[in-house]
Amino acid sequence: MMIDGFTSDFAEVNGTRLHYVSGGRGEPLILLPGWPRTWYQFHKIMPSLAEKYRVIAVDLRGMGRSDKPADGYDKKTMARDVHELVRTLGHNQVHVAGEDIGSMVAFSFAANHPEATRKLALWETGHPTEVFNEIRMLAQPGQPAPWWWAFNQVDGLPEQLLRGRFRFIIDWLIDYQATNPEAFSDQARATYAAAYDTPDAIRAGNGWYKSFQQDIADSGEYPPLTMPVLAMGGIYFPYVVAQLDGKAKDVRFLELKGAGHYLAEERPDDIVRALTDFLG
């Protein structure tokens, strides 16, 4: 799967190999995806953004065509992966944007490499904080119960159950968390399922969740961010607000009312508009 005007490449960084897709001209903009998807989750917004920015969509450590090592899934290590990629590509400062797991890595990038961060945008969750320890596994009125958070922290079982069957998870999550499931083509769903159908891919994705307690501990050591931050959300907007409490000095909040969880695919025009307005 490729987008006209974009190229697919690999880079050896921080002891692992990352896959990334890039195109466009202008200030560099790093896009970081979430679970259970790949760089392709940004395919609807990349062409428009590439008219103004050098867009670089990255498969994170453990994702898609990137390596799936045994460890290193805490967000500080994953942010270092991205930082070394940025340096390898010859950039001193970049805009960083992320959704879901990608938003966690984007925040960690800004916290650990502020000199390399021009502006930060994140949506549909933020970096793990103590707020994560308060999320209920039992459904509450009007609130989803993220059972997959616990499931993804179980050793071995997810690989046994989901190997070759990941399309069931893809379809269930989209139908449950998207207010517009029709925004996802069968081709997109099949692409994500294929990316996570192997035991190694399932194990690696689980690693992002198993590291949450380390991420929470790391968060407690970060001073408030000083660069401009755009924080957006659909169904998880209240968590975005709570997770940024006291964590950044210059934050612009934007709630996309009526949106689900997968904003880059459900509300691409809104995301492009918000990013270009914010990044300038």
Q: How many domains does the chain have?
A: 1
Residue 15 domain boundaries: 7-134+214-279
Q: What is the pTM of this model?
A: 0.97
Look at residue 262 and tell me if it is in a domain.
yes
Over the stretch 15-57, which tens digit does the pLDDT of each residue have? 999 999 999 999 999 999 999 999 999 999 999 999 999 999 9
Determine the straight-line distance between the first and last CA of the chain, rounded to whole angstroms.
29
Strands of the sheet with 16-23, listed across from one edge: 7-13, 16-23, 53-59, 27-32, 94-99, 117-123, 229-233, 251-255
Q: Under a CB-based contact definition with an 8 Å cutoff, are residues 78 and 71 in contact? A: no
In a domain, 99, yes or no: yes
Residue 175 belongs to a domain: no
43 found inside a domain: yes
Q: Is residue 153 part of a domain?
A: no
Residues 88-108 pLDDT 10s: 999 999 999 999 999 999 999
Q: Is residue 238 part of a domain?
A: yes
Residue 157 lies in a domain: no
Could you read off the pLDDT of 124-146 as tens digits, one per residue?
A: 999 999 999 988 777 666 666 78
CATH number at residue 53: 3.40.50.1820
User: What separation in angstroms does the CA of 111 have from each of 80, 108, 261, 265?
Assistant: 11, 5, 24, 27
> Strand ranges (DSSP E) for the chain?
7-13, 16-23, 27-32, 53-59, 94-99, 117-123, 229-233, 251-255
Tell me if 246 is assigned to some domain.
Answer: yes
